[in-house]
Structure 1
Amino acid sequence: MKMIRTFTFIYRAWIQHRLNRNGNFLKFKNKTLPFSSQIDCENGAKYKIEGLILRDRCSVRVRKGGNLNIGDNVAFNNNCILTCRGEITIGADTNIGPNCAIFDHDHDYMSKNRMDNYKIGSIMIGKNVWIGANVTILKNSVIGDNCVVGAGSVVRGEYHSNTLIVGNPAVEKKVI
């Protein structure tokens, strides 16, 4: 048990050192990065992560040219994926349910080389947002502060603060 704790400490220190280079900032709220989760930031990526809680099997990827900003006390539940090629901002005190996907880009399916060409946008998620299970958030989306996004919703567009957002495509259901 002591050996596992030692290895975990070394692994977390290595991740912290590797990701805190080039003026970027990363701070975990939970004690360790789960072994089944990954944070992958390419050279040329910018990120500021003030307080992140990752559960099992989460993947956070910031690609070259991407700009990721995550506020304090942001939690990702199991099996979430976030890929940033443009810009993604997530406000403080936001909870993201299991099996959620957040992508600020689409593949350019009209291109001859579809796998390497992207249509890049941005995503802005406000403070104190609760995102239910199995939600997909697509490029060029803005979710205001204090919103609740219902399970299974597909979000693309702008949504006002203090609203319940549900459906596929997601719509504002009521003010909360």
Structure 2
Amino acid sequence: MGRIHANGFFTIEVARGATLTIEGDITLKSGTLIGVRKNASLRIGEGCFFNRNCTIVCRDAICIGADCLFGESVKIYDHDHRLAGGKVSKSDYTLGSVEIGEGCWLANDVNVLKGSVLPANSVVAAKGVVNRPLEHAGIYAGIPVAYKKALPN
């Protein structure tokens, strides 16, 4: 398990039967919340940086590669509340793992939702919403995100 370098307060909740693996040193800024629910698995790679007010809630599986940068208020969820009979369930969820490759940069207010896969070295512009596997590394923006251009050399 790695070390957490913190600046301000943060919260980490790991439920019974859940697994949180921090593979090296990471940085958490003030207001960050990491929640790993019962029987879920969260892995965070070496050198990741989480700016203020980031939230990760894991009910299934989330894997974050090394050296990723997360801007302020990035949210990562591997689940949705289940809808049935015209109602939203408070305690039943649909699940879908999330994978974020090494060296990704998610700018401020990005949301990464269940079933998302970000290839290594991808960039998601501010306020983007990732809701599916992205085909290849590049710069993405929008709601939902769309490919904009290749990464500069």
TM-score, normalising length: structure 1: 0.80
Where is the helix percentage greater, Structure 1 or Structure 2? 1
Selected match of 2:127 from 152, 170, 176: 152
Q: Which residue of 1 aligns with 2:30?
A: 56
Q: Describe the SS at the equivalent of 2:72.
A: coil
* Aligned-partner Cα distance in 2 for 1:52–1:143: 20
| Aligned equivalents of 2:28, 2:124: Cα separation in 1 | 19
The alpha carbon displacement at 1:159 in A equals: 1.3
Which amino acid letter does the alignment assign opposite residue 129 of structure 1?
C
Please list every run of 5 or more consecutive structure 2 residues that lacks an aligned counterpart in the other structure: none
1:82-122, Cα deviation, whole Å (9 max, x unpaired) = 00000000000000000111000000021667111000111
Distance 1:41 1:92 in 2: 21
Q: Which has the higher contact order (CA 8 A, sep 6+)?
A: 2
Number of matched residues?
149
1:45 alignment partner in structure 2? 18
Instruction: Note if contact 1:49-1:71 (Cα within 8 Å) is conserved in structure 2.
Output: yes
More strand by share: 2
Provide runs of 4+ in structure 1 moved above 4 Å: none
- Measured in 2, the distance between the counterparts of 1:168 and 1:28 equals 34
Please list the CA deviations of residues 115-141 of structure 1 after superposition, one character each: whole Å capped at 9, or x if unmatched: 110001110000000100000000000
- Give yes or no for contact 2:58–2:78 (8 Å, CA) kept in 1: yes
Q: Work out whether residues 118 and 137 of structure 2, in 8 Å CA contact, stay in contact via their aligned partners in 1.
A: no
Give the RMSD, CA atoms, in angstroms: 1.5
Change (3 A) 1:153 1:130: same
| Cα offsets for 1:30-58 (capped at 9, x unmatched) | 1x473x21000001001211222100000
Structure 2 Cα separation of the partners of residues 103 and 113 of structure 1: 17
Partner residue of 1:140 out of 109, 115, 130: 115
Conservation of the 8 A alpha-carbon contact between 1:96 and 1:132: yes
In 2, are the aligned partners of 1:29 and 1:73 still within 8 Å (CA)?
no
2:74 is matched by which residue type in structure 1? C
Superimposed CA distance per residue, residues 127-171 of structure 1 (whole angstroms, 9 cap, x where no aligned partner): 000100000000000000011110000101111343001100111
TM-score, with structure 2 as normaliser = 0.92
